[in-house]
Amino acid sequence: MHDSKTVITGTGSYIPVNIKTNRDFTVHNFYGEDNKKIETDPQEVVEKFKQITGIEERRYACGDMDASDMAAIAAQKAIEDANCDPETLDQVIVAHNFGNVIKHTIQTDVLPALASRVKHALKIKNPACVAYDILFGCPGWVQGVIQADAFFKAGIAKKCLVIGTETLSRVIDVYDRDSMIFSDGAGACVLEVKDAGSTQSGILSTSVQSHCLEEVDYLNMGKSNFPDSDPRIRYIKMKGRKVYEYAMKYVPLAMKDCLDKAGVDISELKKVFIHQANEKMDEGIIKAMYKLYGIKTVPEAIMPMSIHYLGNSSVATIPTLLDLVRRDTMPEHQLKLGEVILFASVGAGMNINAVCYRM
């Protein structure tokens, strides 16, 4: 299968309609990990948060909308964009972290798997279309793309639907400052095998790493920072400083590894679609990657960003961003045939991955 290419033929996304602004958080009382109230004025806490993360708004799913519902909408758009008959799909791969979390509960529902629910929602009858989920932290969607590529190379599949979907708003501790980072959304793409003779587009290389020693609990589930909270109820918790340092150290190396494997010169790189975790962190990662090539100045408009108004929707950030750029909703970011782009992500596990792709 080495004379073939793995090509993205369609993309789609679902951006929830509920907008939660930073101002909404200025009425919150925040508590530290020590369960003590943070005495700083919430207005000041929110302002400092915006300076670090770049986030001004984020989106929350409506009460009657679950992660699998959003996934199915994004998937339908990607299928239409790819002009693909859903019955010809060999796999439906859904990346998430918490399954369906019903609003006002904190219980994860992954029975049946989200991929099975999406296949059901799309009314795909073909039993040879295999539906399964991926748990890989925020890099889950990129990992799904890498997995589809591996199945293509093995000759097992020819067409896959890869989706990233998450409702993080339902697993956040509102007393924790980090809760302001997280949001909801879904992004999807259709990947197909194309004959290398018929296209120059496709995946050029991939890179993946897992660090699971002291890094394993940098993101975890823990009790609320509120002193009188029920310790049995768990929320998403993050060691922000540790995550930042880890990402700054390892993500640029993985990105360079991916580009080098592709045999692509750094000057050829036109766009980097990086996980929308934190604006300062993402800018730092890009700078550090260019520094590894001895380049001090990062090219302008190299990095599309949606974090300012969409927040961090985990696995959904990269496919949503790609879809927004492909649909020309970001005039300063255009993708031209033959251009080299890079996908890169980091998240719970701790996991890192990157994909080098030619448009």
Q: Report the CATH number that the domain containing residue 147 is assigned in CATH.
A: 3.40.47.10
Are 32 and 143 contained in the same domain?
yes
Are 101 and 214 contained in the same domain?
no
Among the listed residues 148, 178, 169, the one whose alpha carbon sits nearest the alpha carbon of residue 9 = 148
Beta carbons of 142 and 355 less than 8 angstroms apart:
yes
- Mean pLDDT value across residues 274-298: 96
Buried b vs exposed e over 236-272: b needs ≥16 C-beta within 10 Å? bbbbbeebbebbeebbbbbbbbbbbebebebeebbbb
Q: Give the model's pLDDT for residue 113.
A: 97
Average pLDDT of the residues of the chain: 95
pLDDT over 70, % of the chain: 99
Are 91 and 113 contained in the same domain?
yes
Q: Give the model's pLDDT for residue 2.
A: 55
Are 220 and 93 contained in the same domain?
no
Are 177 and 304 contained in the same domain?
no
According to DSSP, the residues that pair with 100 across neighbouring strands are 109
Q: Give the model's pLDDT for residue 220.
A: 95
Three-state DSSP string of 163-179 = EEEEEHHHCCCCCCHHH
Domain boundary among 163, 180, 195: 195
Instruction: Calculate Rg over the CA atoms of the chain.
Output: 20
At residue 337 the predicted structure's pLDDT band, cuts being 50, 70 and 90, is very high
Q: What digits encode the pLDDT tens for the residues 294-313?
A: 999 999 999 999 999 999 99
Beta carbons of 236 and 171 less than 8 angstroms apart:
yes
Are 155 and 292 contained in the same domain?
no
Range of the domain at 48: 4-195
Beta carbons of 355 and 342 less than 8 angstroms apart:
yes
- Mean pLDDT value across residues 38-56: 91
Are 122 and 220 contained in the same domain?
no
Sequence-distant (6+) residues with CB within 8 A of 128 are 90
Q: Does the structure show a pLDDT above 80 at 104?
A: no
Q: Does the structure show a pLDDT above 80 at 341?
A: yes
- Mean pLDDT value across residues 161-172: 96
Domain boundary among 136, 166, 195: 195
Are 237 and 314 contained in the same domain?
yes
Are 166 and 270 contained in the same domain?
no
Are 180 and 274 contained in the same domain?
no
φ and ψ at 255, to 5 degrees? -65, -40
Domain boundary among 154, 173, 195: 195
Are 166 and 303 contained in the same domain?
no
Q: Give the model's pLDDT for residue 57.
A: 95
Q: Give the model's pLDDT for residue 103.
A: 74
Q: Give the model's pLDDT for residue 1.
A: 44
Sequence-distant (6+) residues with CB within 8 A of 265 are none
When divided into structural domains, the chain yields a total of 2
pTM: 0.95
Q: What digits encode the pLDDT tens for the residues 15-27?
A: 999 999 999 999 8
- Mean pLDDT value across residues 80-107: 93
Are 16 and 159 contained in the same domain?
yes
